[in-house]
Structure 1
Amino acid sequence: MTVPETNPGPAAPGGAAPLPRRSSLPRRLLRNPMAVVCLAVLALVVLASVCAPLLTSASPTRSSLNDAFAPMGGSHPLGADSVGRDILARLLYGGRVSLLGGAIAVAVALLIGVPSGLLAGYYRGRLDAVASWVASLVMAAPAIMVLLVAIAAIGPNTNAAMAVLGVILAPGVFRLVRASVTSVREELYVDAARVSGLGDARIVRRHILPVVQAPTIIQSAQMFGVAVVIQAGIEFLGLGSAGQATWGAMLNDAFANLYTAPGLLVAPGLAIVVSVAALGLLANALRDALLESGYAVPGARARREKAPKARKAARASTDPAADTGADDGDALLTVRNLKVTYPSPGGESTVVDGVSLSVRRGEVVGLVGESGSGKSQTAFSVLGLLPPEARCEADRISFDGRDLRRLDRRSLNSLRGRRIAYVPQEPMSNLDPSFRIGTQLADPVRLHLGISAKEARERALALLERVGIAEPERVHDSYPHQISGGMAQRVLIAGAVSCDPDLLIADEPTTALDVTVQAEVLDLLRELQQERQMGLVLVTHNFGVVADICDRVLVMQTGRVVESAPVRRLFTDPQHPYTRMLLASTLEDAPPRTPLPDIPPTAAPVQEKV
């Protein structure tokens, strides 16, 4: 039996098994024989082109009619062409032109396609619509015709023609990058980074680019090969820079003398075929290495709650804005008459309708209701995490006297993570699989508190120990897939309280956990809330959780608050029929089920007749 090769990581504390470490990309690439061969071939081509003056003393443009069609040997190791120019010199110096032309085309395509794809995919909206329209327009135009018209306008300049080719290739890069950004933008760990107060530039650099880089690198290798072929084609047609030694010009001369000296095709044709084939095979090997080493992370797309269909349920008779909590004057968080709508085929779908709530310092307020009642949408409205298509209106959304609706993105980021923190549900989806736990804990701390990397590490280890993780060093150096769901939830709680926030919003923090871990996490939340005197908004559908931790409760149904009361009064004297229905559905006081009747032993199975 073959034992699979492993790459041991750092030893875990206490003599535990070493942590598995992600294989580095170069090491994974060098284990692929095809990749090694391709890299060697390309390195040889590049090195030979760069060192052309050292490898031959002949001039690539000097002609001598006495040496026309000279055979291989002597002063012409590969022979001479129809006008006596040395083939080896033209081959070596021609590689410079082809490689430089390919590099120019790829660089221009990346400089245009990557930033525009990042901006369009991340911000969407009108920017995305305009950029996509321009990309489609460029792609719809015949590329060869555009290139020929550009050459006619700017003259026979190879480098300029390659720059125009880069513009033509840019829409392909744009679409690839935009699709990659769109696929990861809705990942929950991106929302978690946004809530922790990280700016857009840092989120894109830390969480978006690692996903974008893999397909972009692969496409760049493929584009390089295409550019080399097209550049050779331009030179073959005589539309490139005059007087330059290029592979395309060598092919032109060879075809003109095909019947006289067919061997002239071998050197330039072989150089083009070998270079392009090596680039294509290297792109495939690079793709496999990126996927295996974990650089191209295929996210399991965990989307936020989207707009549900419009409901036609009867509206509650109680005041939807009822809130028996703090007055606006002493409230840490105040929301008044919040309304959230989404566009729908029939007009607009209202998912939050007239919700009002307030939270004092040191108070735990629960938002409870069945799935789709608007709880999470209310929380996202406070956090500023609603998707662009959502329309949010309110008479007031204020935190510590500041109107959150009037804050720009930078001011909101300075609050999120520092004074307003968020604990999401689905812990494994809210941690970026590309980074270690310690890195994800340290980033917001360093941003908001301005401390050094060493101090951030010490603070992260202390937080991991505080939230009950037995081996903080090991967890700190682990990737998310190396820890359990309960540990991941504790990590998220540690990250949420890392900057000592004043308000903590926890959205179903125990949904994905088993009963034992749920109780531990609830105890931890309550301890941290009391220890730091935070205001806590707990979004849940579980009345058991409400009874354990909340001081006041708001019951939501179809986007409206139907009842608001202190937790003890809500359980002892619920007023609204919907609240009574929810409490009855918990089966806490339901009579025990009758025992199942005895089941007689089954008869012998009937044999099927053949």
Structure 2
Amino acid sequence: MTAAVQATPTDGIRLRRIKRFARNPIGMAAAAVLLSILVLAVFARQLAPYDPNLIQLSETLLPPSGAHLLGTDASGRDVLSRLLWGAQVSLQAGAIMIGTAILCGVPTGLIAGYSSRWFDGVANWCANLLMSLPEILVIIVVITSLGSGLTPTMVTLGVLASPDLFRLTRSVVVNVRDELYIDAARVSGLGSTRIIFRHILSVVLGPLLVRASFVFGLAIIVQSGLEFLGFGDPSRPSWGGMLSEAFQTIYRAPELVIAPGAAIGLTVMALVVFGAAMADALGADRGDGTGKAKQRRASAAGLAEPSLDVSTIEGAVVPAEDALLQIANLRVTYPGDGDTEKPVVRGISLHVDRGEVLGLVGESGSGKSQTSFGILGLLPPEARVSAARMTLGDATLIGASEQQLQALRGTRMAYVPQEPMSNLDPSFTIGTQLTKPMRHKLGIGKAEATQRARELLDRVGIPDPVRTMAAYPHQLSGGMAQRVLIAGAVSCDPELLIADEPTTALDVTVQADVLNLLRDLQRERNMAMILVTHNLGVVADICDRVAVMQDGVIVEQRGVRELFAAPQHPYTRMLLDATLEDARPRSQRPTGNGAL
């Protein structure tokens, strides 16, 4: 009996990138050149016909021949042998320099760009300091103090080159850290380290490869330049040393310049082309929607001075003693002009019982999304959040650290966003994005997580779960992407599900299916759910209670039937009048399919 071997999503990613790179003839040519140079360098001892330092004064400046394919230099040493051994030195120098630059620049750039706190300031100060140092003087001091060894010289150059990679990495991270798929990863319960080195690093890899190839080529040029100027070890065969010796006999044997010069130029050019081709294969040219998340958050925050005074909540419901979520006097403010603050949520109080669906209703800018983000702990750093009480079961949310919130996200509380395509990472397959949070939060193996993901996709109505798991987000429709997000939200069995306008980006026919799915899942799993919406028809179909928000204040809170039958607050009546137009009120319509 033979077991069928099934390709994993990771295998599909690699295969796709390899195929994309293989379709680039220039990139393939550059890769072939680099591979040839690497093979010649690695096997220089076996391929070199002579000892590179063997001096034969009787055979100086010989032209190319059968005995010496590239001739000999002024000391009678074989040029081909020195060229092969010099490749080892140049590639080793480049590897040391670029490795040091990456180790110093990339992790610090990732952390500084993602955190934007004190570490960002310190890292920028250090980068500016390194950039202000005169490199040639630093190198002379290092060579004078530690000798002309290859490692200390190239490590020093790598440290001096690291600010370039730091700034590039940081700028890319700053542009993507507020994207919705990063928030989605945080909501699923993934820690900052996993998000930085998995979701964000994948975006950085493309431009980083391009810049790293330049730095590698620069390392070869700089090391050759130092050898040319006499700062290297004369007993060490190198391309720069060969150039220096060739210039001493330029009038007698000008052809000696060709071999090392061509080797340096060809290697550097191949490195640059190869780096660009690899970046293209990784999808570095994809659009990342930079800045869209910031605009959405600013709009959701509604940073405008409220026009109404705080009102008494009409029909406020007293929470049960065992209410799952309890919020008392929640306030969210943002810095204004000078020392002033602009409130967007102004002292609201609400609760959600276990197995209950609460509708949070209001027009755009009323503070609904800010309330949701405040519960999840996803508000931007400049937001100031305070509350007399905000608890999820026995866990206190207000004042909780990021680590404590990470432990709650995914397993205790989950989130379904309103823009499905923006909340899926375009760099990873659907299967990867579903299984990773389950493996991390539930501690299960890959096989079990994969099986669980397939069952969830089947439950949310995906017709071909296996094929969908191998697909990328851009290969899905909006409705399928939203179903995937719902599957991910319930994958770790949360107690509270927050659905923020989950059908806004979908067409009417798909909206009904998604709402029915949410309602069915909520009942099956007995989840508490907060449905954030401006659509009162949705509230009537799904919710048990409704809280109406206006300008950061809950103006009315009561059961759905009571609110639709006899709205008390003028703003609630205005919303109902705008929704119903000249139709009969829902309270006068026949009850059916879970509606009023």
User: Does the alignment reach a TM-score above 0.5?
Assistant: yes
Judging changes above 3 Å, is the alpha-carbon distance between structure 1 residues 284 and 434 closer, same or farther for their aligned structure 2 residues?
closer
Does the 8 Å contact 2:418/2:504 carry over to 1? yes
Counterparts of 1:489-504 in structure 2, within 5 Å, are 489-504=482-497
The one-letter amino acid of 2:474's match is: H
Q: Which deviations, in whole Å up to 9, do the C-alpha atoms of 1:233-266 show, x marking residues without a partner?
A: 0001111223211111111111122223222211
Determine which of 290, 305, 309 is the counterpart of 1:311.
Answer: 305
Determine which of 107, 118, 122 is the counterpart of 1:115.
Answer: 107
**Greater displacement, 241-250 / 97-106:** 241-250
Partners of 1:461 and 1:312 lie apart in 2 by 47
1:602 aligns with none
| Alignment pair present for 1:26 and 2:15 | no
Judging changes above 3 Å, is the alpha-carbon distance between structure 1 residues 263 and 87 closer, same or farther for their aligned structure 2 residues?
same
Partners of 1:152 and 1:352 lie apart in 2 by 64
Q: Which deviations, in whole Å up to 9, do the C-alpha atoms of 1:246-296 show, x marking residues without a partner?
A: 1111111111222232222111111111111211222232233333xxx66
Partners of 2:489 and 2:64 lie apart in 1 by 74
Determine which of 69, 81, 92 is the counterpart of 2:84.
Answer: 92
Does the 8 Å contact 1:308/1:349 carry over to 2? no
| Alignment pair present for 1:374 and 2:367 | yes
The one-letter amino acid of 1:177's match is: T
**Greater displacement, 170-179 / 144-153:** 144-153
**Greater displacement, 36-45 / 248-257:** 36-45
2:32 aligns with 40
Partners of 2:201 and 2:246 lie apart in 1 by 45
Partners of 2:515 and 2:306 lie apart in 1 by 35
Judging changes above 3 Å, is the alpha-carbon distance between structure 1 residues 317 and 26 closer, same or farther for their aligned structure 2 residues?
closer
Q: Which deviations, in whole Å up to 9, do the C-alpha atoms of 1:192-223 show, x marking residues without a partner?
A: 12111122222233312221222222222221
Give the 3-state SS of the residue equivalent to 1:455 in structure 2.
helix
2:594 aligns with none
Partners of 2:57 and 2:466 lie apart in 1 by 76
User: How many matched pairs?
Assistant: 569
2:64 aligns with 72
Determine which of 277, 287, 303 is the counterpart of 1:298.
Answer: 287
Determine which of 51, 72, 85 is the counterpart of 1:59.
Answer: 51
Q: Which deviations, in whole Å up to 9, do the C-alpha atoms of 1:54-94 show, x marking residues without a partner?
A: 22342222323322223322543322222222222211111
Q: TM-score if structure 1 supplies the norm length?
A: 0.88
1:83 aligns with 75
Partners of 2:45 and 2:479 lie apart in 1 by 64
Partners of 2:375 and 2:559 lie apart in 1 by 22
Partners of 2:362 and 2:15 lie apart in 1 by 46
1:378: Cα distance to partner? Answer: 0.7
Judging changes above 3 Å, is the alpha-carbon distance between structure 1 residues 53 and 127 closer, same or farther for their aligned structure 2 residues?
same
1:441: Cα distance to partner? Answer: 1.9
Counterparts of 1:77-476 in structure 2, within 5 Å, are 77-291=69-283, 297-301=286-290, 302-303=292-293, 304-306=296-298, 307-318=301-312, 323-327=316-320, 329-346=321-338, 347-476=340-469
Judging changes above 3 Å, is the alpha-carbon distance between structure 1 residues 341 and 495 closer, same or farther for their aligned structure 2 residues?
same
Judging changes above 3 Å, is the alpha-carbon distance between structure 1 residues 178 and 337 closer, same or farther for their aligned structure 2 residues?
same
Does the 8 Å contact 2:206/2:280 carry over to 1? no
Unaligned runs of 5+ in 2: 1-5, 585-596
Give the 3-state SS of the residue equivalent to 2:554 in structure 1.
strand
1:319: Cα distance to partner? Answer: 5.1
The one-letter amino acid of 1:453's match is: K
2:510 aligns with 517
| Dislocated runs of 4+, deviation >6 Å | none
| Alignment pair present for 1:558 and 2:547 | no
Does the 8 Å contact 1:323/1:358 carry over to 2? no
Partners of 1:507 and 1:312 lie apart in 2 by 22
1:120: Cα distance to partner? Answer: 1.0
Partners of 2:14 and 2:155 lie apart in 1 by 38
1:325: Cα distance to partner? Answer: 4.3
1:406: Cα distance to partner? Answer: 4.8
Give the 3-state SS of the residue equivalent to 2:331 in structure 1.
strand
Does the 8 Å contact 2:205/2:279 carry over to 1? no
Partners of 2:476 and 2:209 lie apart in 1 by 31
Does the 8 Å contact 1:108/1:170 carry over to 2? yes
Partners of 2:86 and 2:467 lie apart in 1 by 55
Does the 8 Å contact 1:297/1:433 carry over to 2? no
Judging changes above 3 Å, is the alpha-carbon distance between structure 1 residues 227 and 571 closer, same or farther for their aligned structure 2 residues?
same
Judging changes above 3 Å, is the alpha-carbon distance between structure 1 residues 24 and 477 closer, same or farther for their aligned structure 2 residues?
closer
Does the 8 Å contact 2:386/2:398 carry over to 1? no
| Amino-acid identity (%) | 54
Partners of 1:210 and 1:179 lie apart in 2 by 14
Partners of 1:470 and 1:75 lie apart in 2 by 71
1:545: Cα distance to partner? Answer: 1.3
1:230: Cα distance to partner? Answer: 0.6
Partners of 1:37 and 1:517 lie apart in 2 by 49
2:587 aligns with none
Does the 8 Å contact 1:325/1:552 carry over to 2? no
**Greater displacement, 455-464 / 270-279:** 455-464
Partners of 1:223 and 1:104 lie apart in 2 by 11
1:496: Cα distance to partner? Answer: 1.4
Root-mean-square deviation (CA, aligned residues, Å) is 2.3
Does the 8 Å contact 1:210/1:296 carry over to 2? no
1:422: Cα distance to partner? Answer: 1.0
Judging changes above 3 Å, is the alpha-carbon distance between structure 1 residues 245 and 471 closer, same or farther for their aligned structure 2 residues?
closer
Q: TM-score if structure 2 supplies the norm length?
A: 0.90
Give the 3-state SS of the residue equivalent to 1:469 in structure 2.
coil
1:549 aligns with 542
Give the 3-state SS of the residue equivalent to 2:233 in structure 1.
coil
Partners of 1:509 and 1:247 lie apart in 2 by 62
Q: Which deviations, in whole Å up to 9, do the C-alpha atoms of 1:336-356 show, x marking residues without a partner?
A: 111111223343221111111
Does the 8 Å contact 1:333/1:359 carry over to 2? yes
The one-letter amino acid of 1:315's match is: D
Does the 8 Å contact 1:339/1:355 carry over to 2? yes
Partners of 1:454 and 1:351 lie apart in 2 by 45
Give the 3-state SS of the residue equivalent to 2:65 in structure 1.
coil
Give the 3-state SS of the residue equivalent to 1:299 in structure 2.
coil
**Greater displacement, 368-377 / 132-141:** 132-141
The one-letter amino acid of 1:300's match is: G
Does the 8 Å contact 1:121/1:178 carry over to 2? yes
Does the 8 Å contact 1:211/1:297 carry over to 2? no
Determine which of 526, 531, 536 is the counterpart of 1:533.
Answer: 526
Give the 3-state SS of the residue equivalent to 1:459 in structure 2.
helix
1:312: Cα distance to partner? Answer: 4.6
Does the 8 Å contact 2:306/2:551 carry over to 1? no
1:119: Cα distance to partner? Answer: 0.8
Counterparts of 1:553-592 in structure 2, within 5 Å, are 553-589=546-582
The one-letter amino acid of 1:134's match is: C
The one-letter amino acid of 2:289's match is: A
1:232: Cα distance to partner? Answer: 0.4
The one-letter amino acid of 1:503's match is: L
Does the 8 Å contact 2:60/2:74 carry over to 1? yes
Judging changes above 3 Å, is the alpha-carbon distance between structure 1 residues 574 and 451 closer, same or farther for their aligned structure 2 residues?
same
**Greater displacement, 103-112 / 159-168:** 159-168
